[in-house]
Homo-oligomer: A and B are copies of this chain.
Amino acid sequence: MFESLNIEQRIDKAEFGAAEPELREQLIESQLSFLEAEQAPIIVILSGMDVIGRSECGKQLLSWLDSRHVRPFATILPGEEGLERPRMWRFWDALPRDGRMGLFLNSWYEGPFTDYILGRIDREQYRARIDEAVRFERMLAHEGALILKFMLFLSEDQTLQALKKFKRKRMGAWKVSRHEMEISKEFANRFDESLEILEELVSATSTHYAPWIPVASTDARYRDLTVGQTISEAMQRRLDAAGPIDPVPVDTNSAGMSDLHTNILDSLDLSQTLSQKEYKRELKKEQKRLTKLTLSKKFEQHSVVAVFEGNDAAGKGGSIRRVVQALDPRLYRVIPIAAPSDEDRAHGYLWRFWRHLPRQGHVTIFDRSWYGRVLVERVEGFSPEADWTRAYEEIRSFESELTDYGVIVVKFWLAIDQQEQLQRFQEREKTGYKRYKITEEDWRNREKWDDYARAVHDMVDRTGTSEAPWTLVEASDKYFARVKVLKTINDRLESELD
């Protein structure tokens, strides 16, 4: 779920200087409007280790905001008062009034996470405490609270570096407790394992009314501006929100404002190609591998769900053909997903996908999928915001029910750029038998390129999990794309069947 964090996100001093005054003004204006409306509190959680800048970020926020109306909460361990009362007491006690902001540098997540990482509680206790957190937020959200949860983040190398650097300047301006340092070291030393637990935590507790927003913390300017702008934007949206939807969904771009951050799609190197000779050789090799893997004894206990999404004309069909060529026709089905039928519409939106799930030993390929809800339905406004924002958590649940059962879920986004798409559209219009492939709708979608790109970014960020990861496929060169798709499926199968 932290895919987008591997993109280098930086903002230079000049850009920061230009954006800061406007942001401050917006924040203070939103604060005043909230105070006047007095309808709901704002709950902001800043999570992530101090060594990667949680306190710094909190300080920056406080300097921007009108701090008279912000209630910061930063005590890591419960005090005497809190220790003698049920766990959640100190958080209730720290809740801001309606119209005001609570800024939680430590929240109801740190305790369970730390205790679990350090082996002080077992998995069942951990789950129970996470449930407690979810119920707490649900109650707050039902009563109107705007809840924003930021997860500051660095890669493994960067975390280790930050930890080293931090030790050196430890005697500096602000205090980090021994407890905090201990956790940070533990986290860094067992990075992969910790990350997995964190991903599970974020996945289980990111809801449409209280989403987690992962923020790359490499660059302090990017980090602070992203957090600040996301808060400001969400407050503004809430003030504008009409109607009694309960709880109110929170729409935020995963990585903050679109004009500041790099879209995950922009980080792709679309110039990658394969020669025809290489293609033929690799295709043959990977198809043979796939045949072998799907006919193996071990596969009888598994099944594959493969999802193909991508830009129009990115070559989904061609890739799917190269996959099924390697499969026993009795064992696979390709399900093309168009607009829902009457029958589909008369059921819940996931119903038509559940129906087509493969039996053990089988493969189902979805040519477009349930992701329509957070792509076309979001961008075109076919689904109300409450529905598509909720879909991320519903999709994560759905896919984890599949993977729990042993279904191997592979998801592809086939990416081309605007120029390449234009050429393919024009080419299709010229070629008789391909003309049916290009419609008015394709041209219309093209006009909303940036909206779709944002939707793809959020989709990958919010639904890419270690069990059901997204693979972004550079598809300007069809040969390259097809081989990457096959190879990805094979690698996943190999590791899952192992």
Contact = CB atoms under 8 A, between A and B. Distances in A.
Interface in A237-257: 243-246
A251 to B, nearest CB: 16
A97 B350 CA distance: 13
B93 A354 contact: yes
A139 interface: yes
A211 to B, nearest CB: 16
B351 A95 contact: yes
A92 B244 contact: no
A476 to B, nearest CB: 36
A354 to B, nearest CB: 4
B86 A357 contact: yes
A41 B404 CA distance: 28
A245 to B, nearest CB: 6
Number of copies: 2
A443 interface: no
A43 to B, nearest CB: 11
Given A87-B405, A132-B401, A142-B390, A346 B98 contact: yes
Contact of A401 (B87, B127, B349, B387): B87
Nearest to A353: B92
Given A348-B143, A386-B246, A397-B135, A84 B354 contact: no
A449 interface: no
A407 interface: yes
Interface in A273-326: 303
A124 B121 CA distance: 13
A422 interface: no
Interface string A361-394: 0000000000000000000000000110010001
Interface string A84-114: 1111110011010111000000000000000
A179 interface: no
A41 B343 CA distance: 13
A38 interface: yes
A148 interface: no
Interface string A130-156: 001001000110110100000000000
9 contacts: A85-B360, A87-B405, A98-B345, A98-B346, A123-B124, A135-B397, A143-B349, A243-B244, A246-B386
